[in-house]
Structure 1
Amino acid sequence: MIQLTNVTKRFATRELFSNVNFQLGPKQRVGLVGRNGSGKSTLFKMILGEEALDGGEIGIPKNYKIGALRQHLHFSEKTIVDEVALALSEDEKYEIYRVEKMLFGLGFTGEDLEKSPSAFSGGYQIRLNLAKLLIAQPNLLLLDEPTNYLDILSLRWLKTFLKTFDGEVLLITHDRDFMDSVTTHTMGIVRRNLFQIQGNSHKFYAQLASNDELYEKERQGQEKKRKELEEFIARNKARASTAALAQSKVKLLEKMDVMEELESESKLRFDFNYQETPAKIITEAKDLSFGYTPDNLLFEKISFSLAKGECLGIIGKNGKGKSTLLNVLAGELKQNTGAITSHPATVMGHFGQTNINRLNAENTIIDEIYVGNPKLAFSSVRAICGGMMFSGDDAKKKVSLLSGGEKSRVMLGQILARNVNLLFLDEPTNHLDMESIEALTEAMERFEGSIVLVTHSEELLRRVADRLIVFTSKGAEYFEDGYDAFLEKIGWEEEAGEAKPKKVPKFDKYQLKKLRTTIIKERSAKANPLRTQVETLEADIMTREEKLKTLTQELATASSTGDSVRIRELSKQVSHEELAVESAFAKLETAQTKLDALMAEFEAKLAELE
């Protein structure tokens, strides 16, 4: 376990951390959140000893092994199996099966195993580094954006792996769904400090908002009290009869702590500019086929209609042709066969990973947003820049000075500026932080036009995709429903495995009924106490939250009247109830996890009877 004590870090005049304290407990998996530039990656570097501290210390136990995902690439072996096997310890050097299992989970195939690392794209080379890190089994995993370059199947595999990892995890990721499914705790960098709770990022931000609201009520109450004292002193200090009393109020005022106003982080909100259209069907594809060579088609006979307001998600493993299909639909590539028909009033915006080459290197970011729509108000342009994480003077940078990820964000900002009714978006959430992704997702939900979307984000698919085109080993197929329906009705073939032959029933009807009854009775006997515990804890939480609501209201009243004794008393009660609620939630999570595991165990037993 590691411990940070009074850690401070500055860059020139900018302070990232101020006397922060943090202890990582056994088996904790902590998601680290905060706006881009708040210091998340710097914190990782300080833990690794790659960045100096300006104050405080970081304690790491002896023989405690920390593993970090490296973005730089250096390979020395001839095959990817031999390369990843370098991470095996001396005692494990013959356990090549573990290496192969790890590589398969991260999207490599049997044919890939004997290939050279240099034969793969940069994204897959990053996966090799991730495989080497995971196979080494450190005590602590430091994962900075491990979801970059992973497709949905690899993300689902990595989720499962991290949930069962026998150690600690510190995780930075823009993928909120991935983070919340893996972590036990959430920690945020808030106003140069660290704030942590047990639970997911939704609970974290709700608690943060509640804390800020309570602080603000106390601050306003104190501010009112200070003004009353100052007015009393001003009125009475000159009178001989009340001068002594005024002086005592001066001393009381001097003893009062000053509660500063909270620094507020801007709430991101932006919208796509919708171009009105009379069309009910925005675009339609009929029998589309495409391949870079006639005998190697990426997809064939794809047909669909996209109505106004609908979103079509394109999903599948990397390298199967998702971006190619989107580029064909957007007119960037010409299909081999078939036809695409769009309504004459259709105006499209296309965000593709290769479109950054169209940016003018000599323009500033603000200039490029204006290229998207010269009629926009300056305040709107600034809002788009902020949403794409270019605030303040950063928005005045020239395109030539930007990284590839930053240029991608500028391209997305250009599309936000345009008047459109059909959007083609290829991995639009890459290179955005969690808050910007949420703002972009909400903008997509509000958009009145139609969207064709390539993404590996399961949360984004669930929220916006109405229909799907799914790339599998057999090609691409149109699916007339959303992502959850796809998982329920079809699912990923790599997860489902090969179809199994029909089995002969193990038992006759009488035996089957008797065995099912026995298993169900046993399940009820073991599950009922846990169900009772869950229901009791839920009722307790509801009762305490109601009490907490009442106490908070009373505290607000006491703050407005300046009753300091009552404020202290109620503050203690609020703190006590908050701790009790958090404790109850922890117990509820444990009980619910046990109940879920128990139910899954008995479902498996029942399934074995079939």
Structure 2
Amino acid sequence: MIILQVNDLVKSFGADPILSNIKLEVQKRDRVALVGRNGAGKSTLLKIITGQMSYDSGQIIQPKDVQVGYLAQDTGLESSLSIWDEMLSVFEPLRKMERQLRSMEMQMGDPAIIENSQGYEKLLKEYDSLSLTFKEQGGYQYEADIRTVLHGFQFGTFDYDTSIATLSGGQKTRLALAKLLLTRPDLLILDEPTNHLDIETLAWLENYLQSYDGAILLVSHDRYFLDKIVTVVYEISRHRSTKYKGNYTKFLEQKAERLALDQKAYDKQQEEIAKLQDFVQKNIVRATTTKRAQSRRKQLEKMDVLDKPLGDEKSASFAFSIERQSGNDVLRLEQVATGYDANEPLLTGIDYHVNRQDSVALVGPNGIGKSTLLKVILKQLPLLKGNIAYGANVKIGHYDQEQANLHSQKTLLHELWDDYPDKTEKEIRTVLGNFLFSGDDVLKYVNELSGGQKARLALAKLMMQKANVLLLDEPTNHLDLDSKEVLEQALINYPGTILFVSHDRYFINRLATKVAELSRTHITNYLGDYDYYVEKKAETKERKELANAAQQTATVTATTKKSEESSYEKDKASKREDRKRLRRIEEIEERLEKLEAEQQTHEEALCDPEVYQDYEQTHHHNEEIERLQTHMEQLMEEWEALQLEE
């Protein structure tokens, strides 16, 4: 079922075209991504679809009963209510239904109504009907749904009576997304939903959206997120849209293949045209070959000439180099304590060692102190305790996510030239040109730039430093997908050492040789990329759970043995425990039979061609099989432990 269709949509701002003949289709349960460079018109298209912006021509077709939910980029929830009351407001129709049910229950206890058999029967039917509707619409679980979503967005430890007005901008943005998810619209439209989310929250959101009942249309620069969520990609480039099936990685592969095929077809046709034109030129005036030449000319006139493939739009082009290499020991942190309040340090007892040519991703929840740690290394914050040793010949370059090192009242040209006055204007312009600032662009003031342009300017300044150690705080923020890939390649080829903070898991996977997980009191080191880090974290959690289960089993076993050797009263207690154990064994055996049957159902489903050709269904069944297998293994461990207690 098609729930949204856009046909030949055109939008211009004045004489400047933004979107031309855009085509887009969203089916029920589709996960659709809009990708393209900053300024390509992605957010504009979302605003047009949601009726917040007009368009010049074309059609937007949508069934009347389709409910659409839209969250614009960096939209915060503004409300005078508490967190809990604001989330409850989503379910006001259910709460009204609940109040009606309570009222009916009161009426059913009224003797006057009970005596009126006809009226009482009618009331019972109305109550049964309303109860069924209430249950089907989630009336018995909406409070649990609220808690689940709030916990997922890291509000689990909050006092739900907290007023939203007192929260930070990032917290309000997360709450706006939480509220929208609770409304569960048929079509969920999200513009950069991953902004202000830490890695743990991103993982939760991915799992939530993968099982979402409705369709999703989103814009995001988070490539890991796109790979996990989307099944269809529309690229907006040169004002037009092109459709690709699959996730972001598949889109890149298909785009490259399509461009190569188009170029091959174009080259082949151009070669054919050249041969035909050459034949006509040489033979049109000869009496013996005129007819053949005229035939070739007609062939040329009838030919549908292919346009030259445009390929990719111009990309930034840069590389990071160093003046001289550092020693093998780059940074050594020993029992470091730092923060903004000397009486209450944010971080204490931090030990870590960075070697030459390490590429270390510093990860942890929002607010844990990642940026703070970078600042104390840069000596922008006081070292309250401990020691930081800098290696031989270390020269640090810093990228600040807030771009605080940029001067808003300077032009782009002088932003660089004032720092490097020995360079010629041509050299400065060349550097800026490599970062897509050309012509009169270099005479713009810094405060006129967009977030993405400021990010490119800050990277240009960083490149010119030729530092052998780079400290990067969220370097991919504000960059479009193409610029991220250029930055990644430049950093992969960088011969120095990198310590960086990022929520971009795709970026971490490509760049990191180590992942350092920060807590308030220590750093845990993982020798690998992001996927390796996630795998090892899961293994550690599983080992702890098994150890706890074994400890509990050992405790039960010891208690049972002690009871058997004790007095008559204790012997009775032991027998009770034994009966309890046997009941539990029976429960486990019954549960295992049911789980095996469920697993078999999913495995049989995977043999169905309609299922295994559908990525979403295949993914769902595989996840269920894996979940059931894990559950059965846990039950078997418990069953074996209980058998040993005989």
Alpha-carbon spacing, 1:412–1:371, altered in 2? closer, same or farther (3 Å): farther
Alignment of 1:3-14 (within 5 A): 3-14=5-16
Which residue matches 2:87? 84
Between the aligned partners of 2:539 and 2:480, the Cα distance in structure 1 is 28
> Which secondary structure does the structure 1 equivalent of 2:243 belong to?
strand
Alpha-carbon spacing, 1:529–1:50, altered in 2? closer, same or farther (3 Å): closer
Q: Does 1:315 align with 2:363?
A: yes
Q: Contact 1:144 / 1:172 at 8 angstroms: preserved in 2? A: yes
Between the aligned partners of 1:485 and 1:244, the Cα distance in structure 2 is 71
> Which secondary structure does the structure 2 equivalent of 1:297 belong to?
coil
Between the aligned partners of 1:326 and 1:374, the Cα distance in structure 2 is 29
Q: 1:609 corresponds to which letter in structure 2?
A: M
Q: Does 1:331 align with 2:379?
A: yes
Q: Contact 2:474 / 2:502 at 8 angstroms: preserved in 1? A: yes
1:532-589 per-residue CA deviation (whole Å, 9 max, x = no partner) reads x69xx9xxxxxxxxxxxxxxxxxxxxxxxxxxxxxxxxxxxxxxxxxxxxx9994577
Alpha-carbon spacing, 1:511–1:416, altered in 2? closer, same or farther (3 Å): farther
Q: How many residues align?
A: 559
Worse-matched range after superposition: 586-595 or 406-415: 586-595
Q: CA deviation at 1:524?
A: 9.7
Which residue matches 1:41? 43
Q: 1:54 corresponds to which letter in structure 2?
A: D
Alignment of 1:249-328 (within 5 A): 249-264=296-311, 265-328=313-376
Between the aligned partners of 1:585 and 1:373, the Cα distance in structure 2 is 60
Which residue matches 1:606? 633
> Percent same amino acid among aligned pairs?
31
Q: Select which of 235, 242, 253 maps to 1:206.
A: 253
Q: 2:369 corresponds to which letter in structure 1?
A: G
Q: Select which of 497, 500, 504 maps to 1:453.
A: 500
Which residue matches 2:462? 415
Q: Does 1:477 align with 2:523?
A: yes
> Which secondary structure does the structure 2 equivalent of 1:197 belong to?
strand
Q: CA deviation at 1:401?
A: 1.5
1:239-267 per-residue CA deviation (whole Å, 9 max, x = no partner) reads 34443433332222111112121223235
Alignment of 1:489-508 (within 5 A): 489-490=536-537, 502-504=551-553
Between the aligned partners of 2:236 and 2:443, the Cα distance in structure 1 is 26
Q: CA deviation at 1:389?
A: 6.0
Give the TM-score of the pair, scaled to structure 1.
0.81
Alpha-carbon spacing, 1:257–1:82, altered in 2? closer, same or farther (3 Å): same
Q: CA deviation at 1:480?
A: 4.8
Q: Contact 2:229 / 2:247 at 8 angstroms: preserved in 1? A: no
Q: CA deviation at 1:352?
A: 1.7
1:56-96 per-residue CA deviation (whole Å, 9 max, x = no partner) reads 11101102111111334462323222233333341257844
Q: Does 1:362 align with 2:404?
A: no
> Which secondary structure does the structure 2 equivalent of 1:358 belong to?
coil
Between the aligned partners of 2:378 and 2:516, the Cα distance in structure 1 is 15
Q: Does 1:148 align with 2:195?
A: yes
Q: Select which of 464, 486, 498 maps to 1:439.
A: 486
1:259-308 per-residue CA deviation (whole Å, 9 max, x = no partner) reads 12122323554321223225111121111101333442211111222111
Q: 2:346 corresponds to which letter in structure 1?
A: L
Give the TM-score of the pair, scaled to structure 2.
0.77
> Which secondary structure does the structure 1 equivalent of 2:624 belong to?
helix
Between the aligned partners of 1:371 and 1:308, the Cα distance in structure 2 is 31
Q: Select which of 87, 110, 116 maps to 2:157.
A: 110
1:412-444 per-residue CA deviation (whole Å, 9 max, x = no partner) reads 331122211111111111101112112222222
Q: Select which of 28, 52, 57 maps to 1:55.
A: 57
Between the aligned partners of 2:155 and 2:221, the Cα distance in structure 1 is 24
Between the aligned partners of 2:600 and 2:79, the Cα distance in structure 1 is 57
Q: CA deviation at 1:313?
A: 2.2
Q: CA deviation at 1:140?
A: 0.9
Between the aligned partners of 1:198 and 1:423, the Cα distance in structure 2 is 38
Q: Contact 2:612 / 2:618 at 8 angstroms: preserved in 1? A: no
Which residue matches 2:118? none
Q: Contact 2:599 / 2:625 at 8 angstroms: preserved in 1? A: no
Q: Contact 2:451 / 2:478 at 8 angstroms: preserved in 1? A: no
Alignment RMSD (CA, Å):
3.7
Between the aligned partners of 2:343 and 2:64, the Cα distance in structure 1 is 59
Q: Contact 1:99 / 1:135 at 8 angstroms: preserved in 2? A: yes
Q: CA deviation at 1:376?
A: 7.1
Between the aligned partners of 1:441 and 1:254, the Cα distance in structure 2 is 48
Q: Does 1:341 align with 2:389?
A: yes
> Which secondary structure does the structure 1 equivalent of 2:335 belong to?
strand
Alpha-carbon spacing, 1:18–1:485, altered in 2? closer, same or farther (3 Å): closer
Structure 1, unmatched stretches of 5+, are: 538-582
> Which secondary structure does the structure 1 equivalent of 2:330 belong to?
strand
Q: 1:481 corresponds to which letter in structure 2?
A: L
Between the aligned partners of 2:187 and 2:539, the Cα distance in structure 1 is 31
Q: Select which of 621, 630, 639 maps to 1:594.
A: 621
> Which secondary structure does the structure 2 equivalent of 1:84 belong to?
helix
Q: Contact 1:519 / 1:606 at 8 angstroms: preserved in 2? A: no
Between the aligned partners of 1:296 and 1:171, the Cα distance in structure 2 is 41
Q: Contact 2:339 / 2:372 at 8 angstroms: preserved in 1? A: no
Q: 1:285 corresponds to which letter in structure 2?
A: L
Q: Contact 2:76 / 2:170 at 8 angstroms: preserved in 1? A: no
1:369-399 per-residue CA deviation (whole Å, 9 max, x = no partner) reads 4456567798986686577565665454211
Between the aligned partners of 2:177 and 2:466, the Cα distance in structure 1 is 41
Which residue matches 1:575? none
Q: Contact 2:602 / 2:624 at 8 angstroms: preserved in 1? A: no
> Which secondary structure does the structure 2 equivalent of 1:336 belong to?
strand
Alpha-carbon spacing, 1:381–1:443, altered in 2? closer, same or farther (3 Å): farther
Q: Contact 2:315 / 2:436 at 8 angstroms: preserved in 1? A: no
Which residue matches 2:130? none
Q: 1:604 corresponds to which letter in structure 2?
A: H
Alpha-carbon spacing, 1:526–1:249, altered in 2? closer, same or farther (3 Å): same
Q: Contact 1:89 / 1:136 at 8 angstroms: preserved in 2? A: no
